[in-house]
A and B are shown apart, each in its own frame.
Chain A
């Protein structure tokens, strides 16, 4: 298995760390403390960087492997930050039968990242999403608030080029 360390450098501030420590100490004596701590940590940082999980592991005594297991189990947790441009590919039923799987694969290939990850320059993040209610346009992707529909795999290059700046 390849190391899944996030390609984006950690840029946490002392204020964020102070807030994280407050959250950890507020919850760590409770039963089932890990979930609320992880949820609030994600609110503080926008995602769950390795450095933050390490802090939680050290402060709570829960092994990092166990925390990582929980984080990768629940889809609500993100190990990568969102990019400047957040690309969502609809893998809902209608889009999927119209070929959004191939679109998704092409995007992963073009960006050199897996779904759920962010490009090392912080520009694009990619994720799969469920039906966004635009089935008439299937297959659909969104880039931030822009919607692109009735896509072919070969349209991807042109779309990405629009966000080159």
Chain B
């Protein structure tokens, strides 16, 4: 690797030739503040908070995009630099709605932290004219509050560059500049897929999930309701972050205990629903292969991806698996099988799901998602909302004991656990499909080729004398590339896994936010996914079809995968949507 010699704050350093000043400083233990910069997503040098002095340069430069060169001398903390940053913060605050006390991002707001660090405290000094914006609450999953927007455009880049959608952009100019949809439409009128990547990209409280925690409190306090919760595979790998634990800590036991203490009647695991999804999806795949059905079959677990497909690839809806997602399958079984077993009217059950995802809030309201005549899932909360409930209940999360999920719908396999990472659904499905097709036990359960955080992963497996071509893709801009290749006949796959969020659910739009100072330097996706693969490795059962609960469920209730009853309860339909 080519290197250059530079000096930062007088300290001699040797750094890679193509690094930016920001990266070089970070490698020497110096944090330069950023607001607009998100590595590889938003590199526009617009907010001017990362200004530093470079010897010989005629003005301050933006460290986030300015490359180092041989002999460069940088000062990151001179009075000139610090004053420039403070002035920038004051200008931002002059139009910012400073309702910080109860703001959803209070404590995790990147602007708030900088204002504290730089002691920007004289409000009378920077009080200025403001434009009042109405909050856009039209979408099922989020609020857009431009009064707290600092125009960093991280959301715009997440939407257009990372997800290939682009339903928001900067409208108008100068003082009137604001982020909005074309023709100032509400978000719900656009082809927004509800992935929530804009929310986790936002440095302030301008974008946030719709908070549905009050509805859960109300249910928990209603003596006539049987309130059941189930938690998605990835939540255990991320919830700890909301309580200051290291990224990638598996907090399954504490999470279960917390949910029980919150008052849920049963604490189940969506991993069970994931196992069930595999039974139905592997069966559907085998049927399609055997009977000349539509191929490639594409997974349908990710509601952001499903809505994207409905808007942008409506001609490929037949390729989508008809399986409901694990969230909905869990809910459907809770309201049918479990309700019957317990002798509870499904109308008296409130099913709450804890999801890494804001699109799940949209999914629970979709048609064809009510197996018992009532919604399969009543309320879908994000990881962030669960953390909020735990805090409000006064639970000292890190001190809680480790508990186990309730039986029977809390029992699952390692195949369910890895659903939370990109490639996990594919691997889990292959474990079951290959054994079903060959009738032989797999010697090696790890399908390494489909693991990891690469944008697009491809593999070919020899199964029962047939070459099965699979692809795994995460992030919708990547999905678009892959699907265009499939449509153009350049690629020939049998089975594709698509996750809307880059890296899969561990990096979902409902996960705890991490500031840019972390996101730019730590691979969140890989660290969080590692916790799930470790859980899988340590499970006694790692194949969905070997789960005793799954076996009992089919023998007592569903008959067999793909049965008429299974179709009524566990499968769904899609609708064509337009882009504009």
Contact = CB atoms under 8 A, between A and B. Distances in A.
Contacts of A72: 171-173
B166 to A, nearest CB: 3
Contacts of A65: 160, 166-169, 180-182, 190
B46 interface: no
Interface in B162-206: 165-173, 178, 180-186, 189-190
Contacts, number: 57
Contact of B169 (A1, A54, A63): A63
Contacts of B183: 3-5, 50, 68
- 4 residue pairs, one from A and one from B, having the closest CB atoms: A63-B166, A68-B182, A69-B169, A65-B169
B580 A54 contact: yes
Nearest to A6: B183
Interface of B: 133-134, 136, 146, 160, 165-173, 178, 180-186, 189-190, 579-580
Contacts of B185: 3
A3 B134 CA distance: 12
Nearest to A70: B169
Given A57-B580, A58-B579, A66 B166 contact: yes
B133 A1 contact: yes
A24 to B, nearest CB: 16
Given A65-B169, A68-B181, 5 more contacts: A4-B183, A63-B167, A69-B169, A72-B172, A73-B172
Interface in A1-43: 1-5
Chain A CB within 10 Å — which of B170, B183, B184, B580 has the most? Answer: B183
B155 to A, nearest CB: 11
Contacts of A68: 169, 171, 181-183
Interface of A: 1-5, 50, 53-54, 57-58, 63-69, 72-73
A5 B184 CA distance: 8
B177 to A, nearest CB: 8
Contacts of A5: 183
B164 to A, nearest CB: 9
Contacts of A4: 183-184
A64 B182 contact: yes
Nearest to B172: A72
A141 B166 CA distance: 40
A129 to B, nearest CB: 18
A51 to B, nearest CB: 10
B314 to A, nearest CB: 14
Looking at B169, B178, B189, which has the most chain A CB atoms within 10 Å of its CB? Answer: B169
Contacts of A67: 182
Nearest to A51: B580
A67 B169 CA distance: 9
B171 to A, nearest CB: 5
Contacts of A3: 183-186, 189
A100 B177 CA distance: 25
A1 B182 CA distance: 11
B133 A53 contact: no
Nearest to A65: B169
Nearest to A1: B184
Contacts of B170: 69, 73
Nearest to B181: A65
Given A65-B166, A72-B173, A53 B182 contact: yes
Nearest to B134: A1
Contacts of A54: 580
A2 B184 contact: yes
Nearest to B135: A1
Nearest to A66: B169
Given A53-B182, A54-B580, A63-B167, A1 B160 contact: no
Contacts of B136: 1
A1 B183 CA distance: 9
A6 to B, nearest CB: 9
A50 B580 CA distance: 10
Given A57-B580, A63-B160, A63-B165, A69 B184 contact: no
A67 B182 CA distance: 8
Interface centre among A3, A63, A68 (most CB of B within 10 A): A63
Nearest to B165: A63
A72 B160 CA distance: 19
Contacts of B166: 63-66
A2 B185 CA distance: 7
B197 to A, nearest CB: 15
Contacts of B146: 1
